[in-house]
Amino acid sequence: MTIAHDGVREDAGSAEVRMTPTVQTMTMATALNRALADAIEADPDVVVFGEDVGALGGVFRITDGLTERYGEDRCFDTPLAESGIVGTAVGMAMNGMRPVVELQFDAFALPAFDQVVSHVAKLGNRTRGALRMPMVIRIPTGGGIGGVEHHCDSSEAYYAHTPGLTVVCPSTPQDAYSLLRAAIASADPVIFLEPKKLYWTKGEVDTSIVAEIGSARIAREGTDVTLLSYGSSVASCLEAAEIAAAEGRSVQVIDVRTLTPIDDATITAAVRATGRAVVVAEAPGYASVASEIQSRVFERCFEFLEAPVRKVTGFDTPFAPPKFEHWYLPDADRVLDAIDTLHWLDEHGEES
Amino acid sequence: MTLRDASETAVRDASAGAAAATKVFRLPDLGEGLTEAGLVQWLVQVGDTIRTDQPIAEVETAKSVVELPSPYAGVVVALHGEPGETIDVGAPVLEVADPDAPAARFLSERSAVRRILSERSETKGDALAQDPTKDAVVPASGGDVEDAAGAPAAAPTADGVEKEAYRAEERAGSGSGNVLIGYGTAESAGSGRRRARRTAGHPLGSLSEDAAQPRPRRNAAPEEIPARGQGGPAGRPSPSEPAPAPVVERAKRDETQHPAESPTPAPVRGPIAVRSPLVRRLARDLGVDVRCITPTGSDGAVTRADVLRAAVDQAVDRMSLRTIRSPANASGAHSPALSLAGRDTPSAPAGIGVSRPVSSESVDGLAVFARERMSPLRKAASARLTRSRSEIPEATVWVDVDVTELWTLRAAMAPEGGRAPSLTALVARFVLIALAEHPLLASRLSDDASEILLFDGVNLGVAADTARGLLVPVIPRAHELTVDGLDAALRELAATARAGSMPPERLRGSTFTLNNYGGLGVDGSAAIINHPDVAILGIGRMIERPWVVDGAIVARRIAQLSLVFDHRVCDGGHAASFLRRVRELLEHPARAFGRVR
Amino acid sequence: MRQTMSATPHDGDPRDLLPRDEPVRLIDETGVAHADDRYPMPADDLLGRAYRGLVEGRRINDQANALVRQGRLAVYPSSHGQEACQIAASLVLGAQDWLFPTYRDSVAVIARGVSPADAMVLLKGDWHSGYDPHEHGVAPQTTPLATQLLHAVGFAQAAKHRGEDTVVLAMCGDGSTSEGDFHEALNFAAVFQVPVVFFVQNNQFAISVPLSRQTAAPSLAHKAIGYGMPGQRVDGNDVAALLAVLGEAVDRARAGGGPTLVEAHTYRMQAHTNADDDTRYRERAEVQAWVAKDPLTRLRAHLTARGLLDEAHEQELADGAETIAAALRAALNIDTDLDPEDLFRFVRSTRSPQLQEQWHQLRDELERADTVAEGGTR
């Protein structure tokens, strides 16, 4: 994939491309804001719109200052109509623009679901490539902020299940920046899920790094078991890995990053090397992306497995009310519990 | 018949009547699985010139009245059927002639029909539904709009249609016919596979470059890693081989799994591909390291068979290593073996004293590596054995015994909280019963061998293989003991012999010897009679063999009895009789219970 | 900087936004012309082109119907009786403009320049769409209702953003006006003053559900005022009135005046599709009554009366239409060579590893497929 970046074309054959480094510590929200600004500057066809993204700068301030800096032509508010937002974005994409729309919360993206599934996902295929949909739909996702009903859902499964869509979910400010730039540059439609719990987490961001959509990232090396995760669950995995290290176990953590098309190669190689895997994600487990990853690992790594592939997910209930949230969300302990079940003693010939 | 068949026959008819170029339109399947339709009225007459797709008739189906558009243009030369009659599907409806058609046009029409015949899609064919919808008010195709200006003729049939229409699913046939949004389902045809079986494995989870070569061990140094194809059957580097070549470079990745972009580096550590968790467990249970196995699975995984073969290899290697490792394995380092209770510890050659390693002496080309002095016991035993063989004209008779019942019964003899009597004790008891009926075999010859001394009982000698050598301690007046008594006596004897504290006087006075060498792992023996006895009875392993019982081959527990006897005191018949009796008692122990005290 | 994405509220008397009490009509059923203060009769040559379009459109509709009955098309939602709407929608647009049709607007699609064979690919089942939208400025036809209205708005928005001359004509039916996307599209269009003409072909039925069940409004055109855009109603079988009203709306949009809602009163003369049984929900008499209002009849009468149409010319038009129909027949009688790999080619701009794996699986199946000797029981 070749990416035009600041007027310089680089062959992105490797996952990361280095140019003049611009490294700063910033929150994920700022990283996203920066990515939008840089994209607007880099490509005149990029236009950002949605509800409250203009003067307010977005309910999470992700689009803060964009209208001020670039004008309403590049970043503007729409009427309160999600289907309208996505439907008009489709029309703009048909006419050569690169819309980057914001849908305010997971659940509020649902009125646009018909437009997404019937047209965003299908127009490229319908017209044999004549009409591509180079657009990005940004959606704040997930819980962990004590939000009320409808504001904490995880909807990635609906989109991942729809052929034609790319679904991306970053877990660090760096990935938020780099993957959003890549998503905007992509010729295909991307559902960009932003874990709202992580908006205020800080990290180093090098804006010269261009991430490759469809590639997973090894967040922590390890030899005994592979944790596969994305979004806000990655932090729980890293925490579990740290605790496990003190207990004498070497845990590898992989941030899947792109839910579809998924990086089968990296995941398969990793689990074949450790022989054990646990998939960790916040969304309800039944018929989830976590289930898909679990199933793929079983299929491709069966002969190398020392133990079943486990899944640590949210319960199959509507997302918990704020006061129940801490019982609901998978945490490091739940991850460690799952790791404990992976037939460790059996390795020395004793029944576990 | 379907539209395709109709076209087929149309082509045939057309070619048959090539000179006249008459085309026959046959009634197609109207898509409802019906075999006929009612002709309501003709919309054309013979002699009319019609266009393609012009409706030429109205026919009635179960649902409603539909128009039939003609697939052919030309002049109508024949109409088949009267209004009110039934037309079968496939029967001619009308014939159209095109007398001034050039041959080329006819041929192009025919080839168009041929193309219809070569349809590949299954969704066409029987799903070519005739439109069941009424359309009577629409003017004829071709935009003959004037008709519409007030002609009611097209309308009437609508009123005659029953309001209660059939639903599509109620009709005959398994296809749905045309549905609102598409061609609909086809008639199901045939059963069984439509594709040949796949020969290769499942396309996913290809293990090619990962497991086709023997995997390096975790943390293995590069020089330990065998190159592909080298190494022994188990693929492991044996200490005696020279260091093998370094590991072969990782094979090119399969493009289906890793297209375009950067390949992920190959893991050089970690688990080996094994067919299933069960095979992995099997390997673990057998103590086989799967990392050392050359896999033979078609996808590169280690299979169950690979594990089992490796286990056998490993066991064989271990055995030979053990043998190689201890050439001087007889230096009294072994625990005393006792054949009384059938233990199977391999016995060392007994009675060997201190060995002096000798250098440089050789006899007949073989280097002497040790000289061992005979112990006094061994010398004494040698003397007696030599005398026995030189004086006694012995003969041997043997028989196989089915001890299955005894084996089973023995277990049932265990008292609560105690052990069952030993097999040797049981065998001894039955032997004593048989001896009571054959006292000659427990007799003695006079010193000048002119007289046979017969006794009223038996002092039973029991052969024992001890660390010091072969001993035959004696149970005096054994005929008076119960099975429990014999069992206790035998245990005491074994313990005493094991402790090495058997006094010489207990080794004398036997009148019959019992030799249970089953514990040594053999079946039969032409033993040496314990002089001055006249007979010795040996019994070997009691193992399961295929045996014929009531005409069927079954597994039975069989042992061999070997009786060596002094032929001067009796002949073969008597010896055989004794042996027969012993066998009878051993095979049907229940009968002996009356005699057992 | 240009404020193309900002909202411009409507100024002026809101009542100007209301449609007339009676649909605009310039030529009545008998072919007699009626003058109108606001909408002039189209020029003769335009009427002539329109009539040709009607003849060809009618022929295409009826040919497609026959092809369904012959199993060459899976389905055909016919616009028989609505050809005036179809032709007018195409004639009022320029080469730089775009048409966003529904699944019933095949005649309009063809009138815009898409070949009949390409237009029928969807209904034949060879692919989801048979033409490159960019070639003739025609969006693909799809089944979901009203969703394309939003696409039209976005498309027009982009054109405006770039300062282009494009006007977008977005077509939909009476049923679509009940969908949420209809509301959102008109709202967005009016708020952002985009150059879109919303053309509602009110043929009185959404499959079996009549107009009275879709709305309680006095007319569909009356909905326009709710969005702050003008609405107009037109005799949908009068191609002259349609050309005039739609033409004015297009001009207005092109001049930056924003969107218009135009409602054409017409009638769906045939069933929803060939697989629909319309006797279950409407009376023959009602259908029959509309035969007299046929768009071809009145225009033929009008042109003939004015000496603009004679029999020779009629025959020429009929022959031309027949040629088109024959070409369509010929094209659909060809069994296209379909490539199974197409299933995987266009889903994404670059094929994912997963799709490649699945293509290999299908390819392996195809290689192992038996060639069935018998052709089944057919």
Contacts of B27 in chain C (CB under 8 A): none
B116, B159, B255: residue with CB nearest C333: B116
pTM flag (> 0.80): no
Hey, is the C-beta of B131 within 8 angstroms of any chain C C-beta? yes
Give this complex's ipTM: 0.90
- Report chain B's mean pLDDT, rounded to a whole number: 69
Hey, is the C-beta of C141 within 8 angstroms of any chain B C-beta? no
Greatest alpha-carbon pair distance for chain B in Å reads 152
Q: Which residues 67-106 of C have a C-beta within 8 angstroms of B?
A: 68-71, 74-75, 80
The per-residue pLDDT for B332 is 41
Q: Which chain B residue has the Cα nearest residue A300?
A: B205
Instruction: Give the pLDDT band (50/70/90) at residue B162.
Output: very low
B255 vs A281 pLDDT, higher one: A281
B242 vs A87 pLDDT, higher one: A87
Contact assignment for C354 to A261 by CB distance below 8 Å:
yes
- Provide mean pLDDT across the span B462-482: 86
Instruction: Give the pLDDT band (50/70/90) at residue B33.
Output: low
Contact assignment for A273 to B274 by CB distance below 8 Å:
no
% of chain B exceeding 70 in pLDDT: 60
C347 vs B146 pLDDT, higher one: C347
The predicted-structure confidence for B555-567, as pLDDT tens digits, reads as follows 999 999 999 999 9
The per-residue pLDDT for B166 is 34
**Residue B62: pLDDT over 70:** no
B259 vs C269 pLDDT, higher one: C269
The predicted-structure confidence for B369-421, as pLDDT tens digits, reads as follows 888 888 777 787 788 888 888 889 999 999 999 999 888 888 777 766 678 88
Q: Which tokens in the block code for residue B143? A: 């935009």
Instruction: Confirm if B434 and B581 have CB atoms less than 8 A apart.
Output: yes
| Smallest Cα distance from C45 to chain A, Å | 33
Of all helices (H) and strands (E), which one includes residue A33? helix A28-42
**Residue B540: pLDDT over 90:** yes
| Smallest Cα distance from A304 to chain B, Å | 5
- Beta strand B65-69 with B49-50 is unpaired
Contact assignment for B124 to C330 by CB distance below 8 Å:
no
**What Å distances lie between residue A278 and A227, A237, A257, B349, CA to CA?**
5, 10, 16, 60
Q: Which residues 183-242 of A have a C-beta within 8 angstroms of C?
A: 186-188, 214
The per-residue pLDDT for C313 is 96
Q: Pick from B161, B466, A129, A86: which is nearest to C128 by CA?
A: A129
A273 vs B596 pLDDT, higher one: A273
In whole angstroms, give the CA distance from residue B562 to residue A337: 67
Instruction: Give the pLDDT band (50/70/90) at residue B34.
Output: low
The per-residue pLDDT for A81 is 95
In whole angstroms, give the CA distance from residue C209 to residue C223: 20
Q: Which of B202, B567, B574, B588 is catalytic?
A: B567
Instruction: Confirm if B65 and B37 have CB atoms less than 8 A apart.
Output: no
The predicted-structure confidence for B427-447, as pLDDT tens digits, reads as follows 998 999 899 999 999 999 988
Chunked into runs of 10 residues, chain A (352 residues) has average pLDDT values of 38 45 90 97 97 93 96 96 97 98 93 97 97 98 92 96 98 98 98 97 95 97 97 97 95 98 98 96 97 97 92 96 94 96 67 37
**Residue B10: pLDDT over 90:** no
In whole angstroms, give the CA distance from residue B458 to residue C303: 144
Hey, is the C-beta of A13 within 8 angstroms of any chain C C-beta? no
In whole angstroms, give the CA distance from residue C17 to residue B321: 104
Contact assignment for C345 to A129 by CB distance below 8 Å:
yes
Percentages helix, strand, coil for chain A (3-state, rounded to 5) are 40, 20, 40
Hey, is the C-beta of C284 within 8 angstroms of any chain B C-beta? yes
The per-residue pLDDT for B123 is 36
**Residue B103: pLDDT over 80:** no
Contact assignment for C147 to A118 by CB distance below 8 Å:
yes
Contact assignment for A49 to C5 by CB distance below 8 Å:
yes
A83, A95, A128: residue with CB nearest C184: A83
- Provide mean pLDDT across the span C109-120: 97
Question: Which of the residues of C are catalytic?
Answer: 268, 272, 281
Q: Chain A interface, mutation test: which of C118, C138, C151, most A Cβ atoms within 10 Å?
A: C151
A264, A272, A346: residue with CB nearest B267: A272
The predicted-structure confidence for B131-152, as pLDDT tens digits, reads as follows 333 333 333 333 333 333 333 3
Q: Which tokens in the block code for residue A212? A: 């490759």
Among the listed ranges A229-243, B323-337, C123-137, C357-371, which one has the minimum average pLDDT value?
A: B323-337
Q: Which chain C residue has the Cα nearest residue A68?
A: C1
Among the listed ranges A279-283, B11-15, B429-433, C144-148, which one has the minimum average pLDDT value?
A: B11-15
Q: List own/partner pairs for B250-256 with CB under 8 A and 24 or more apart.
A: B250/B209, B251/B208, B251/B209, B251/B212, B252/B209, B253/A265, B253/B209, B254/B206, B254/B208, B254/B209, B255/C356, B256/B203, B256/C353, B256/C356, B256/C357, B256/C360
Q: Which amino acid is at B129?
A: A
Q: Pick from B148, B134, B159, B151: which is nearest to C271 by CA?
A: B134
Q: Which amino acid is at A110?
A: L
The predicted-structure confidence for B261-299, as pLDDT tens digits, reads as follows 444 444 445 788 888 888 888 888 888 888 888 888 777
Contacts of B155 in chain C (CB under 8 A): 284, 288
The predicted-structure confidence for C293-332, as pLDDT tens digits, reads as follows 999 999 999 999 999 999 999 999 999 999 999 999 999 9
The per-residue pLDDT for A8 is 36
Q: Pick from B83, B84, B63, B87: which is nearest to B135 by CA?
A: B63
Instruction: Confirm if B411 and B550 have CB atoms less than 8 A apart.
Output: no
Other beta carbons within 10 Å of A298: 15
Most confident range (mean pLDDT) of B251-255, B572-576, C365-369 is B572-576
Contacts of C75 in chain B (CB under 8 A): 178, 180-182
B591 vs A143 pLDDT, higher one: A143
Contacts of B197 in chain C (CB under 8 A): 368
- Report chain C's mean pLDDT, rounded to a whole number: 93
Instruction: Give the pLDDT band (50/70/90) at residue B241.
Output: very low
- Provide mean pLDDT across the span B352-379: 74
Contact assignment for B262 to A304 by CB distance below 8 Å:
no
Q: Pick from B375, B367, B325, B385: which is nearest to B349 by CA?
A: B375
The per-residue pLDDT for C7 is 56
B352 alpha-carbon distance from chain centroid: 50
Contact assignment for C125 to B182 by CB distance below 8 Å:
yes
Instruction: Give the pLDDT band (50/70/90) at residue B61.
Output: low
DSSP letter (8 states) at residue C24: B
Q: Which of A5, A119, A150, A151 is catalytic?
A: A151
In whole angstroms, give the CA distance from residue C325 to residue A347: 76
Q: Pick from B184, B130, B203: which is nearest to C65 by CA?
A: B130
Greatest alpha-carbon pair distance for chain C in Å reads 75
Contact assignment for A304 to B258 by CB distance below 8 Å:
no
Contact assignment for A264 to C181 by CB distance below 8 Å:
no
DSSP letter (8 states) at residue A199: T
In whole angstroms, give the CA distance from residue A214 to residue A258: 5
Q: Which chain A residue has the Cα nearest residue B267?
A: A273
Instruction: Give the pLDDT band (50/70/90) at residue B46.
Output: confident
Contacts of A274 in chain B (CB under 8 A): 270-271
- Length of chain B as a residue count: 597
Half-sphere exposure of B436 (CA within 13 A, CB side): 12
Contacts of C376 in chain B (CB under 8 A): 122, 125, 187, 189-190
Catalytic status, residue B588: no
